[in-house]
Homo-oligomer: A and B are copies of this chain.
């Protein structure tokens, strides 16, 4: 029996991926520190596949604990792949304290790759981020663009993780898929602009305060389309040991103002929206960028939802999740 280790598998994206992996007749071992993830996100899949889905609460920045977790995973069969979806996803927190991104975003990668080498696990699927591009202005962000000058510690530690992954394909990995994620929306929501706005409106139904002037334009992908993209990339024949692929919608995105309006409409239609100054929400926030997904589309993938559709659906899903 083949075993997949899913680091960060109890989080937003991991928990959405599990249903598809479980159908492959694999054993799934989920490692998560539950900083953002929740064990309850695993309930449905564990009920459906009680003999398949295994969970360890642990800290992947601890090398020994990671080794021990792989020993556990190995009892179910051959660990042939690792999905690395664990990271600090609170970008502003990482700007204030770089140790957070060092530990949760980079050292998780470092330990996983080290332990994979020990266990001869040769396939690595890594959730990187569009944040590695930094602010390249009006340039079209394709996978080969440079220079890579991230403007947040989060982006820096994702780029550091990519770099280490690349070096490992030279020394022992057979295959590394590096997924550069866009902004992803859906449930179970653990963070992000939609959840923030809904929380604010629940707290104060009369006013929604928005960081920045609302003109930040970003593209959003629904998590269902993201998971489909990762599996599509994983199913490609190996052309090179490392395959870096942007994942994102095909459109140019929507503005924060538009999202604020949609959330308000759904949660508290008479709330007043108040904007701040500047077109950056926080230090390390990239105001606007255009993301090339030509490579991914060349594999035959297309999103079912564009940015607007993904946001609308996610607002409804998250509102329901919060009982609104």
CB within 8 Å of B: which residues of A? 95, 98-99, 102, 106, 110, 113-114, 132, 134, 143-153, 155-157, 159-160, 162-164, 166-167, 170-171, 242, 244, 283-284
Contact = CB atoms under 8 A, between A and B. Distances in A.
A164 B163 CA distance: 13
Contacts of A157: 160, 163-164
Nearest to A166: B149
Given A146-B148, A149-B166, A153-B167, 8 more contacts: A98-B167, A143-B146, A148-B148, A150-B163, A156-B163, A156-B167, A159-B163, A160-B160
B143 A114 contact: no
Nearest to A152: B167
A114 B97 CA distance: 9
B147 A244 contact: yes
* Most interface-central of A102, A149, A242, A244 (chain B CB within 10 A): A149
B134 A166 contact: yes
30 contacts: A95-B167, A95-B171, A98-B110, A99-B114, A102-B110, A134-B166, A143-B146, A143-B147, A144-B147, A145-B146, A145-B147, A146-B146, A146-B148, A148-B159, A149-B162, A149-B163, A149-B166, A150-B166, A150-B167, A151-B170, A156-B163, A156-B164, A157-B160, A157-B163, A157-B164, A160-B160, A170-B283, A170-B284, A171-B283, A171-B284
